[in-house]
Structure 1
C-alpha cells in the first residue's frame, strides 16, 4: 500500500492543501488551498475543509460535514454525519465579518454525534462525547458526556466511549475494562490512570 493520500475522482483538492500520508478523501468533497489534514484521516462524501482549518491525524469526518476557517480538530477525533461547525457568533448576510472568525478547538479523541452543532469559540475537551443532535455553545471538559439543546453535561465517558457510573460533580472512582483505565472524579474534573493488574 502506498503512503500517498487518496482522493476520489469527484473530489476537489485545491493546490497548496497539506494532506498527510494514507488519508482518504471521498466523493464530492472539497479541500481548500490553505487547509491542513493530517495522516490516516477519513473524509466521507460531501465534506468541505475550509482555508485555515486544521485536522490532526487519524480523524474520521463522516458525510456532509463542513469544517470552516479557524476550526482546529486534534488527533483521533470522530465527527458524525452532518455535524455543523460555525465561525461567526452573529452572522449577517449584509455585513462582512471574516475578520471576526472565532477559533473552535476539538481536543484529542473527542466524538461529535450526528447532526450536532458546535457554536464557534468553544473548546471541546479530550475524549468528550457530544450526543446526536446536541448544540454545544460553551466549553466542554475532558471526558464529559453532553446531551440536549443547549447541550448540558449529563455524565462522564471513558476514553473508549463507555458511560461511567459517576455523578456529574462530586467524588468517585470507576473503571473501564476496555480502555484498561481507572477514572477518578474530584469535584468537576475527571482524571484517568492505567489499571494495574
Structure 2
C-alpha cells in the first residue's frame, strides 16, 4: 500500500492490499477501499463509502457517502457523486441544517462501469454493469447495464461493451468492433452472449 505524505486517511478506514492514495486525497472513517484500487490526487472519499477492488478514482473526484462502487469502476477526474436529493443549507424555519435534518442517499455504480471526467451523478441513481457515462454528463436517472449515456440531463445514446467501445447492431445482436464480443438485449440492458 502507498499513501502519499500529504493524503489524509482515517485510521478507521479499511484499506485493501496494493491500494494507492495520492497527494491531498482524503479517505474518511468507515470507508472501504478494495484491493489494488487507486485514489487520485485531491480526491475525496466520504465516510462509509465502499469501493470495490481494482477501481480507479481520478484526481479531484468527490465520492460522497453512502456511495457504493463495484469492482473495477472508473471514476474520471473531477466527477461528483452527490448524496442529497433535495439540498438546502437551512430548514424551512431558517435554522441551519445539521446531520440530523436529512438522510444521505447514495449513488450505486456496478462492476466495470466508467464515469467520464466532470460528470455528475445525482443521488439516488444506479449505474449498471459496464455502462459508460460520457464526460460532462449529468445523470439524474438509472443507467442500464452496458448503456452509453451523454448530455445534460444524460440520455442513452448507444451501447458499449466491456472494452469500452460503442457496439454495432448486427440484426438483434450487438457486436464490439474491438473484441468481437457479442451482446443481446436483456431485462436490465444488455448481457453477454456466446458467439
Aligned with 1:166: secondary structure?
A: strand
Aligned with 1:100: secondary structure?
A: coil
> Per-residue deviation at 1:177?
5.6
* Number of residue pairs aligned between Structure 1 and Structure 2: 188
1:102 maps to which of 80, 101, 105: 105
Aligned with 2:172: secondary structure?
A: strand
Please report the TM-score for the alignment, with normalisation by the length of structure 1. 0.89
Q: 1:137 — aligned with what?
A: 140
Conserved 8 A contact 2:72-2:113:
yes
> Per-residue deviation at 1:178?
4.1
Gaps of 5+ in 2: 91-96
For residues 137-176 of structure 1, the aligned pairs below 5 Å read: 137-166=140-169, 172-176=172-176
Please report the TM-score for the alignment, with normalisation by the length of structure 2. 0.90
**1:44 counterpart = 2:40:** yes
Change in 2 beyond 3 A, CA 1:104/1:188? closer
Gaps of 5+ in 1: none
Q: 2:114 — aligned with what?
A: 111
> Per-residue deviation at 1:187?
8.2
Conserved 8 A contact 1:180-1:194:
no
For residues 28-107 of structure 1, the aligned pairs below 5 Å read: 28-94=24-90, 95-96=97-98, 99-107=102-110
